Amino acid sequence: MSTATINPLSAAAPLYRPETGWPPLRACLMTILVLGVAAILGLTFFLGIGTLVDPARNWFEDDAAMPQWVMLAGQLVMQTASVLLIWWVAGWFRSDRRAALALRPVPGGASTIAKAFLLLSVISGAFTIFALTFASEDILSDLAPMWPLMKGEFWWLMALVAVIGAPLSEEIVFRGFLQSALAKSPLGFWGAAIITNSAWTALHAGYTTTGLTDVFIAGLVFTWALWRTGSLWVPIICHGLYNGLIFAVLSVMDMPEGLPGLPA
C-alpha cells in the first residue's frame, strides 16, 4: 500500500518494530555513558569560552555571569554530541542504524504528522489549561528562566536549541536508541516506554511536579505516535513543533514580575 494512502494512527495494527541488536542492559549503560560524555563536552566548551572571556573568574561559582550565547552554544554542543554518539553506537551489534533508531519514512507523510501534532496539542493543551487554573505559579515558574533567553539578543540561538537541538537529541537517544533495545526485552513496547519516558522526564529535573507531569504526558503522546507509525520522525517533528509553539507564545508575552528564576 502506498504510504500516501496509509492512515497509521487509526490502522488495525501498530507499525513499530524494534530492530536492533543491542542487549537491553548494555543499551541502558551506553545511554548513560553517551549522555555523560555529551555533558562533559558541553561543560568543557562552556568553561573553555569562559576562560577566554575572563581567565581570573571561577565560572563554576559564577556561571550566572556567563554571556547568554555561551550557555546556549554549550547546550547545542551537548545536543550535537548526543546525536553523533548515538548514531555511531546504534550500528554496533550488527544493527542497521536507521532501522535501530526507527528513522524510517513517515507512512502517510505530512498528513500523519499533522494529525499526531493535533492530538498532542489537544492533550497537552487540556493539561495546560488545567494547570493554569489550579497551579499557575508552577507553570510560570518553570518557564521563567527561559523568558530572558527568548527576549535576549541571542533568541535565535535559543530557538535553535529548543526547536531543533532538543527534539533531535532527546528523541534519538530515548525513543530511538533506548526504546528499541528495551522493547525487545520481556518488558515489551509499553513497559519499555514507561522506562524511557521516565528517564526522558528526569532530564527536566528542576521543574515543579506540575511541569514534570506535563513533560511526561507529552512524552507518552510522542511514544504513542512512534508505536502507531513506526517512524521516529513523527515524534521528532511533533516535539519540534510543540517546542516551537511554546517558544512563539512566550516570545510575545510579557515576563511576570516577582517569579523565581527571573532577573531582579
- Supply φ then ψ for residue 133, to 5 degrees: -75, -40
Nearest to 105 by CA among 238, 231, 239, 240: 231
Q: Are 212 and 148 in contact (CB under 8 A)?
A: no
Gap between the Cα atoms of 185 and 181, Å rounded: 7
pLDDT in tens, 185-232: 999 999 999 999 999 999 998 899 999 999 999 999 999 999 999 999
Q: What are phi and psi of 22, to 5 degrees?
A: -70, 125
pLDDT at 264: 41
Give the phi and the psi of residue 67 in degrees, each rounded to 5: -55, 145
pLDDT of residue 63: 60
* Domain spans, the chain: 24-251
For residue 70, what pLDDT is reported? 82
The answer to whether residues 16 and 229 touch, using CB atoms and an 8 Å cutoff, is yes
Burial of 257 (0-12, 13-18, 19+ CB in 10 A): exposed
Measure the CA–CA gap between 196 and 206, rounded to whole angstroms.
Answer: 19
Q: Between 83 and 6, where is the model more confident?
A: 83
Q: What is the pLDDT of residues 27-61, one digit of tens each?
A: 999 999 999 999 999 988 887 876 776 666 665 56
Is pTM beyond 0.85? Reply is: yes
Amino acid at 219: G
The one-character DSSP state at 65 is G
Mean pLDDT to the nearest integer, 148-153: 81
